[in-house]
Amino acid sequence: MAGPPPEGAPLVRLLLELSGVREVFRAGRDGPEVEVVADLTLRRRSEAGTERSELWASGFARPAGETFEDRQEAARRALDQTLEDLVHGARAQLDALDRSDGALVKELASSDARVRDAALDVLATRKNPRAVAPLIERLQSDDALLVRRGMGALVEMRATQAVPALIDLTRGKDPGFQRELVFALGAIGGDEARAYLYTVAQGHDSPGVREAAERALEELTHREALAPQEGASVEAKRGQSR
């Protein structure tokens, strides 16, 4: 049996959730496949604090036939593929958490996609500006989940450089996704985002998107109005502590 961890060693907790098992048809593939999607939440607690990362993976397998047993066997193979991907991804993520920002920036050019993704995720969590350009590139992915993760990281960083790319992303998208983008732009803020939200609120074809833009604009205005007050409060506290 393994003994207790060394004193001061980080404690890691992993939470696995199967988020979907479905039959899909992919372009260029003959016949249906079974897809298994899973999410892995990683929490690492150390003397420096608690760090949290989220990973996801999907696996595909084609059933040998059309029976229930054939589909069940394909689901098992897809699950094995998904879990293997998550295990390697979690290892890369834990390794990245121990690296300096300089080392992670170098790993953005790694030939290993898992290493690149882990480095980018950790840099984004640390709000390192070098993460912004690769995150903007993620917005061009055909994978909707990857795009949403990129959007979320850019929002957390308040990356105003991403506003033009997010505006371009709204073109041709369904109203539901456009509402997500509108709220992302409102959360990032800046003059360009404000101007776009105003235009959408005034004349978008979809009432739901117009309403979302109005709400995002109101929240942005309220947040900007509070910012000087919060800054003055911080300065007052500093003055009292001197």
For 154-176, how does the pLDDT look when each residue is reduced to its tens digit (9 = 90+)?
A: 999 999 999 999 999 999 899 99
Supply the pLDDT for residue 77: 97
Q: Say which range, 39-53, 143-157, 158-172, 221-235, has the weakest mean pLDDT.
A: 221-235
* CA dist 118 → 55, 114, 205, 211 (Å): 9, 6, 39, 37
Element (H, E) at 59: strand 49-61
| Mean pLDDT value of segment 216-229 | 84
Q: What are the tens digits of pLDDT across the range 82-114?
A: 999 999 999 999 999 999 999 999 999 999 999
Reported as a pLDDT band with limits 50, 70 and 90, residue 35 is very high
Specify the pLDDT at position 240.
56
Q: Is pLDDT at 5 greater than 90 in this prediction? A: no
At 51 the pLDDT is: 83
Report the C-alpha gap between 206 and 128 in whole angstroms: 36
Whose CA is closest to 113, among 34, 182, 185, 55?
55
Give the model's confidence band at 73: pLDDT under 50 very low, under 70 low, under 90 confident, else very high.
Answer: very high
Cα–Cα distances (Å) from 82 to 18, 57, 102, 146, 191, in that order, read 10, 6, 31, 16, 42
Where residue 75 falls among pLDDT bands split at 50, 70, 90? very high
Query: According to the model, what pLDDT value does residue 234 have?
Result: 45
- For the segment 130-149, the average pLDDT, to the nearest whole number, is 92
Mean of per-residue pLDDT scores for the chain: 89
Q: Say which range, 58-62, 146-150, 154-158, 195-199, has the weakest mean pLDDT.
A: 146-150
- Spell out a b/e string for 172-195, using b for 16 or more CB atoms within 10 Å of the CB, else e: eeeeebbbbbbbbbbbbbbeebbe
Q: What is the pLDDT of residue 238?
A: 55
Q: What percent of the chain clears pLDDT 70, i.e. is strictly above it?
A: 90
pLDDT category, 10, cuts 50, 70, 90?
A: confident
pLDDT above 90: residue 45: no
